[in-house]
């Protein structure tokens, strides 16, 4: 039963001509499916509506070919041919009684129009973002008039698709905000004073209202603070004032902070509800509903924001990905079942990879249509097979949980005295504490399953497994970090003299800590090298992080934390050296080769920490496989590997691997549905 304190979250909210059934608002978010995979996109958004989100929005939806963001996979409403794919989503959302919103947008500075080859347009003449050799042309009055026409036409198409809410996107990358920003140096009536700079947004709202008609609500997604210092829009200066100038024009204000990296920081760098300081005072300048985000996972935080008048609706992107049923679980009082977002931003990386959304906590995300997976439901067992899962890390925990949910008799054996495997170890590293939610949610669910037995301090060998007499054995025994230097830059073990002590992340996490001058060599390029360097620096060591990549923790560009990582290392006194591949070590020196020029150099060091690659712990798999091949494995009919034991990867891949095994176990040969172009039409 729901705690009455949270009743306020389930009050209806009027948004112009429409009514949201509760205060949960799935904010626009990218997903890697978009207009290229419309059936997958529709199914994903439909699951959100089923889970209780009263408003479900699309991602960025371009209104015209001159606002082309390809190769990013997003949405578009350039002509009537774009209506059917979006109508699929609307239908899926409406099926569960939720409102469907579309994020109408026109990029400025962030698009090189690589597909359409149209000249990019913006407030001023300047290069596009990134390093594309293309410049934006400053819009003249005829361009602005044309834009308003394109926008109105897109709004009309959105209405035909069935959308309830038409969102005017004033995000960091879009035309409306680029005009509002103090960095707009125009000298006509669209530049200069704030009243002039908000003129275009006002006209876009009016064009949207005209195109959408009386039945559609109009919302505005707007940056309240650029986080760009005195050169940018600041909430206390012009941010709230800008909203006040247009206070009653839209039917809802959906507010964000800074760039995408600012608005969606990882849990390494920002806690839940980190945006609240920017939202204070907004309700004093408008009577319209206000939505904000902040990686909300706590019902107490959500209810407090509503009760204190900070927000009217709880906006969420990442929490709605980690648990599409978050609202329904709060409504039903099942708080311990909420799959809390860990703030790793692996979901964001799928956008840059231009492929289906993925999530560390929710392995079904992005697989709703193509694999038929559901975050809450799973097919019941199709046999009476018993399963032994060896290893209680992220893969083993998810495999045992999902198999148990299906109804199988499962035993989970873990050699350590606590569950979690690598998650438990990594959760103790700087900034990764919230990643323990991966373990904790699964342990909570396992405790509810009487058909799953969990045994700690059970280091099973070949004889133990065979004696157990299970029908199926699933090995989730993990991996170990290499200590020989092999990784992306080195294919063979390096010449590493004993005069330079070598450590790995396993050593550091296990308490075997070097001291003095330490080189952390990162050929992994995700978070591990940086957090190990940070930990060692916090212990008083002189630490230098060296990488053959062009940037430290280069993959974290895709998780929006690369700049924050570099700043954090700098604050901790960690030196950073790029483009240097480790070549060997001897006599207190590490030898390097410049990855670009081949020039050699050396650095004196007291210890070397190698963050390069991992080796699967698959000895038990090989031994069991040999017995199966000889027909000498008793009742055992199959042994399988999952997670890092099969192929070391990030935690999200381990969870997915465990879940996929459980989904497909005894289910024949599941197929992967693909969306194909139909040339017949």
With beta carbons less than 8 A apart as the criterion, state whether 377 and 669 touch.
Answer: no
The mean per-residue pLDDT over the stretch 367-373 comes to: 97
pLDDT digits 0-9 by tens, 19-56: 999 999 999 999 999 999 999 999 999 999 999 999 99
At 230 the pLDDT is: 85
With beta carbons less than 8 A apart as the criterion, state whether 633 and 624 touch.
Answer: yes
The mean per-residue pLDDT over the stretch 94-109 comes to: 96
Q: How confident is the model at residue 656 (pLDDT cuts 50, 70, 90)?
A: very high
pLDDT digits 0-9 by tens, 465-479: 999 989 999 999 999
Does the pLDDT of residue 189 top 90, yes or no? Answer: yes
Q: Which residues contact 448 (CB under 8 A, 6 or more apart)?
A: none
Q: How confident is the model at residue 361 (pLDDT cuts 50, 70, 90)?
A: very high
Cα–Cα distance for residue pair 592/171, rounded to 1 Å: 43
Cα–Cα distance for residue pair 308/182, rounded to 1 Å: 31
Does the pLDDT of residue 428 top 70, yes or no? Answer: yes
H/E element, 455: strand 452-455
At 671 the pLDDT is: 80
Q: Please name the residue that has the structure tokens 């927000």.
A: 311
Does the pLDDT of residue 681 top 80, yes or no? Answer: no
Q: How confident is the model at residue 652 (pLDDT cuts 50, 70, 90)?
A: very high
Rg (Cα) of the chain, in Å, rounded? 27
The mean per-residue pLDDT over the stretch 246-266 comes to: 93
Does the pLDDT of residue 111 top 90, yes or no? Answer: no
The mean per-residue pLDDT over the stretch 276-299 comes to: 94
At 231 the pLDDT is: 85
Does the pLDDT of residue 669 top 80, yes or no? Answer: no
What rounded mean pLDDT belongs to the chain?
Answer: 95
H/E element, 519: strand 517-522
| Range name among 66-70, 325-329, 601-605, 676-680 with the lowest pLDDT average | 676-680
- Helix ranges (DSSP H) in 221-296: 240-245, 260-263, 276-279
pLDDT digits 0-9 by tens, 598-608: 999 999 999 99
Does the pLDDT of residue 220 top 90, yes or no? Answer: yes
What percent of the chain has pLDDT above 70? 100
Nearest to 485 by CA among 504, 509, 507: 504
From residue 449, give the alpha-carbon distance in Å to each of 128, 407, 408, 486.
Answer: 54, 9, 10, 42
Which residues lie across from 576 on neighbouring strands? 545
At 451 the pLDDT is: 98
From residue 108, give the alpha-carbon distance in Å to each of 170, 242, 264.
Answer: 11, 20, 21
φ, ψ of residue 577 to 5 degrees: the values are -130, 125
Question: Which strands make up the sheet holding 607-611, listed edge to edge?
Answer: 502-503, 607-611, 517-522, 542-546, 575-577
With beta carbons less than 8 A apart as the criterion, state whether 582 and 502 touch.
Answer: no
The mean per-residue pLDDT over the stretch 175-192 comes to: 94
Classify burial at 499, counting beta carbons within 10 Å of its beta carbon; exposed 0-12, middle 13-18, buried 19 or more.
Answer: exposed
Which residues lie across from 638 on neighbouring strands? 472
At 633 the pLDDT is: 85
| Range name among 30-39, 108-117, 509-518, 530-539 with the lowest pLDDT average | 108-117
Give the predicted TM-score (pTM) of the model: 0.96
The mean per-residue pLDDT over the stretch 625-648 comes to: 94
């Amino acid at each position: 039963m729901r705690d009455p304190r949270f009743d306020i979250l389930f009050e209806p909210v009027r948004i112009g001509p429409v009514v949201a059934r509760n205060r949960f608002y799935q904010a626009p978010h990218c997903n890697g499916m978009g207009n290229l995979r419309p059936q997958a996109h529709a199914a994903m958004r439909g699951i959100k509506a089923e889970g209780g989100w009263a408003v479900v929005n699309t991602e960025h939806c371009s209104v015209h070919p001159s606002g082309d963001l390809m190769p990013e996979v997003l949405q578009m409403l350039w002509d009537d041919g774009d209506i059917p794919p979006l109508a699929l989503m609307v239908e899926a959302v409406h099926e569960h009684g939720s409102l469907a919103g579309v994020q109408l947008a026109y990029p400025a500075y962030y698009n090189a129009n690589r597909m359409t080859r149209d000249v990019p347009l913006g407030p001023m003449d300047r290069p596009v973002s990134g390093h594309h050799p293309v410049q934006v042309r400053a819009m003249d009055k005829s361009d602005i008039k044309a834009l308003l026409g394109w926008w109105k036409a897109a709004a009309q198409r959105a209405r035909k698709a069935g959308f309830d809410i038409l969102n005017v996107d004033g995000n960091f990358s879009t035309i409306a905000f680029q005009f509002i920003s103090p960095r707009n140096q125009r000298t006509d009536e669209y530049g200069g004073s704030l009243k002039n700079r908000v003129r275009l947004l006002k006209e876009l709202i009016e064009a949207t209202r005209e195109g959408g008609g009386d039945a559609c609500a109009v919302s505005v997604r707007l940056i309240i603070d650029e986080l760009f210092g005195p050169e940018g829009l600041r909430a206390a200066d012009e941010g709230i004032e800008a909203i006040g100038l247009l206070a009653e024009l839209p039917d809802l204000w959906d507010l964000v902070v800074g760039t995408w990296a600012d608005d969606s920081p990882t849990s390494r760098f920002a806690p839940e509800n980190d945006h609240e300081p920017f939202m204070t005072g907004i309700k004093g300048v408008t009577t319209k509903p206000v939505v904000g985000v902040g990686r909300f996972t706590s019902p107490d935080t959500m209810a407090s924001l509503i009760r204190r008048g900070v927000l009217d609706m709880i906006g969420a992107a990442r929490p709605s990905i980690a648990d599409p049923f978050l609202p329904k679980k709060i409504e039903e009082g099942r708080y311990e079942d909420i799959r809390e977002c860990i703030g790793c931003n692996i979901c964001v990386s799928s956008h840059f990879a231009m492929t289906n959304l993925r999530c560390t906590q929710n392995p079904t995300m992005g697989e709703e249509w193509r694999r038929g997976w559901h975050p809450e439901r799973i097919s019941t067992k199709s046999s009476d097979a018993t399963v032994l899962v060896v290893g209680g890390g992220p893969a083993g925990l998810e495999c045992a949980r999902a198999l148990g949910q299906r109804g199988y008799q499962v035993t989970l054996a873990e050699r350590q005295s606590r569950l979690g495997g690598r998650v438990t170890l990594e959760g103790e590293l700087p900034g990764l504490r919230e990643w323990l939610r991966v373990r904790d949610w699964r342990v909570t669910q396992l405790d509810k399953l009487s058909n799953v037995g969990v045994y700690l301090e059970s280091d099973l060998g070949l004889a133990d497994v065979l004696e157990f007499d299970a029908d199926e054995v699933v090995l989730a025994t993990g991996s170990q970090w290499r200590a020989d230097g092999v990784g992306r830059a080195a294919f063979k073990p390096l010449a590493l003299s004993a005069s330079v002590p070598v450590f790995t992340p396993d050593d550091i996490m296990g308490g075997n800590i070097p001291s003095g001058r330490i080189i952390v060599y990162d050929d992994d390029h995700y978070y591990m090298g940086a957090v190990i360097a940070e930990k060692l620096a916090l212990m008083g060591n002189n630490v230098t992080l060296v990488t053959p990549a062009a940037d430290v923790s280069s993959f974290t560009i895709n998780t929006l934390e690369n700049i924050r990582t570099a700043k954090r290392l700098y604050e901790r006194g960690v030196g950073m050296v790029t483009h240097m591949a480790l070549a060997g070590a001897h006599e207190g020196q590490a030898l390097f080769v410049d990855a670009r020029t081949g020039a050699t150099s050396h650095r004196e060091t007291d210890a070397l920490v190698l963050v390069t690659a991992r080796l699967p712990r698959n000895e038990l798999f090989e031994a069991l496989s040999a017995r199966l091949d000889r027909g000498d494995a008793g009742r055992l009919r199959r042994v399988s590997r999952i997670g890092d034991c099969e192929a070391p990867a990030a935690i999200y891949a381990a969870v997915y691997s465990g879940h996929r095994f459980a989904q497909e176990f005894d289910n024949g040969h599941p197929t992967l549905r693909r969306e194909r172009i139909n040339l017949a039409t």
